[in-house]
Structure 1
Amino acid sequence: MNRLLLVEDDPTSRSFLQAASAALPAEVDIADSVEAAYALATVNAYDAWLIDANLPDGTGGALLARLRAEGRTTPAIAHTAARERRELDALRAEGFAIAVSKPVAADAWLGAIRRVLVRRPGTRPAQPSTPLPDARRSGEAPLWNGETALAAVGGDSRNVRGLRELFIGELDGTRARIAAAAAAGDETAVRGDLHRLRAGCGFVGAERLGLAARVLHVEPASATALRAFLETLDATRASA
């Protein structure tokens, strides 16, 4: 059985990616920060590192560079809420074998992991990940898109319900952190929380909130974008 290190701080994304990775089959260790990941990676042997591009205490690229500088050669996959080509290319330039945009379907996620593992008899070929269509303006999108959520979790409605409950449970804390960071003018903190939220939105089909988060991520100092985001978050939470 393979042993993997999954580095992800967003609870919704972490829950899905851990379950999907375990189906490889694999034993999956979890870390939610750069320092926690570094501590595990330096004392355990892993077949692959699955590293979030943005973490509370640093970047996935910096973590990988630190591990590589010590001579560690474990193959690494970056996963990120970003979908822009330049950001995915930048992650590959930092040394990641593959850069995956979240949300990602379970089959595509497992395909990416298989591509970096040593080939063995019976290993299925990797399946390419198909990006979601370009988003519409947030005012035109539904609060919940069940088709997107089902596609992300392999068509199992029970997984959608479980992830959605976890996602909704995190929204109060997310709202408070983003509102406080915006009030303090801390654009870096605003973007950090929005990055985590966008990935979770994709896994549960919170389409309108994901779009509002994308707009605020581009313009974190915009009072209009912040107001629209908070109103959409409240509507999403109330509709669950």
Structure 2
Amino acid sequence: MNRLLLVEDDPTSRGFLQAATTALPAEVDTADSLASAHALAAREPHDLWLIDANLPDGTGIELLARLRAEGLQTPAIAHTAAREPEVLAALRAAGFALAVSKPLSAQAWRDAIRQVLDLPATGPAADEAPAADAAPAERPLWNTVAALAAVGGVADNAAALRGLFLGELPATRAAVENAARDGDADALQGALHKLRAGCGFVGADRLCDAAAALHAAPGSAHALDDFLRTLDATLASA
């Protein structure tokens, strides 16, 4: 059985990706920071590293460069909430075998791992989340269909992920408010970047849209107010 290292600081994303990876099947070690990931990768042999592009104490590129400088040649996949082609290209140029955008379905995640490890492919992606056709203004607070599709239709798994997600929202709200008050655009966009992946895994469609709008216009008071209202409505609906 392959042994993999998953590096992800967001509890919702980590829970989803760990469950999806374990189902390969595979043995999965987890880390939530550059420091803890480095310690694990240096101490334990792995067949593949799955590294978040943005960590609390550094970047995935920095982590990979440090491990490579120490002579470790384990292949690595980068995962990120960013979807811009230039961001994904930069990750590949830094030495990642693949760079994938979150959220993605469990099947797509496992297919990426199989590709890098040269494992046999499976059939059609039965748990692929359907595309959202509604315009942003019409999107619901919760997209239950997408949330279930992301976890292969297992309602208990979807509920567990939603619980993790909701538990993190008050801290996210405080981080966004503090960063906006202090005019710290980097901290603001960092908090929103992490949130957007979690939104996708649990189907928090409207909050995802509001986070994307604020990420694109961090100085907009209107976008901030809309984001906070949407976050509060998401929490109240649970």
TM-score (norm 1): 0.92
**Does the 8 A contact of 2:129 with 2:149 survive in 1?**
no
Matched, 1:124 2:121: yes
Give the letter aligned to residue 57 of structure 2: D
Deviation at 1:84, TM superposition (A): 2.1
**8 A Cα contact 1:212 1:229, kept in partner:** yes
Could you tell me whether the CA contact under 8 Å between 2:196 and 2:211 is conserved in 1?
A: yes
Counterpart residue identity of residue 35, structure 2 = E
Change (3 A) 1:219 1:130: farther
Q: Spell out, residue by residue over 1:1-26, the C-alpha distance to the aligned partner (whole angstroms, 9 max, x if none).
A: 11111000000000011111111111
Alpha-carbon deviation of 1:126?
8.8
Counterparts in 2 of 1:221 and 1:136: CA distance versus 1, 3 Å: farther
Deviation at 1:161, TM superposition (A): 1.1
Tell me which amino acid in the other structure corresponds to 2:231: L
Corresponding position of 2:216: 218
For 1:233 and 1:148, locate their aligned partners in 2 and report how far apart those are by CA, in whole Å: 19
**Can you list the C-alpha shifts for 1:72-121, whole angstroms capped at 9, x where unaligned?**
110101111112222222211111111111111111111111111154xx
Conserved 8 A contact 1:88-1:100:
yes
From the superposition, tell whether residues 193 and 66 of structure 1 become closer, same or farther in structure 2 (CA, over 3 Å).
same
2: distance between equivalents of 1:126 and 1:85?
Answer: 27
Provide closer, same or farther for how the CA distance between residues 134 and 163 of structure 1 changes in structure 2, counting only shifts above 3 A: closer
Which residue of structure 2 aligns with residue 81 of structure 1?
A: 81
SS at match of 2:43: coil
Structure 1 residue 130 displacement after superposition: 7.5
In 2: Cα distance, 1:71 partner to 1:135 partner: 47
Identity score, percent = 63
Aligned equivalent of 2:61 = 61
Cα distance between partner residues in 2 of 1:232 and 1:135: 20
| Partner in structure 2 of residue 91 of structure 1 | 91
Query: What is the Cα-based RMSD across aligned positions, in Å?
Result: 2.1
Whole-Å separation in 1 of the counterparts to 2:54 and 2:48: 18
Q: Which residues in structure 2 correspond to 1:99-178 (within 5 Å)?
A: 99-119=99-119, 123-124=120-121, 133=131, 138-178=136-176
CA displacement 1:181-212 (0-9 Å, x = unmatched): 11111111111111111000000000000011
**Residues 5, 30 of structure 2: 8 Å contact kept:** yes
Label 1:127 to 1:9 Cα distance change in 2 as closer, same or farther (>3 A): farther
Q: Specify the code of the residue in structure 1 equivalent to 2:107.
A: D
Q: Provide the residue aligned with 1:50 in structure 2.
A: 50
Paired position in structure 1 for 2:180: 182
TM-score under structure 2 normalisation?
0.93
Q: 1: CA distance between counterparts of 2:128 and 2:155?
A: 21
The letter for the 2-side match of 1:202 is: G
SS at match of 1:42: helix
Q: For the Cα contact (< 8 Å) 1:115–1:126, is it kept in 2?
A: no
Give the one of 200, 203, 207 matched to 1:202. 200
Give the match for residue 6 of structure 1.
Answer: 6
- Matching residue's letter, 1:19: A
Cα contact 1:108–1:127 (8 A) shared by 2: no
Q: Partner amino acid for 1:143?
A: L
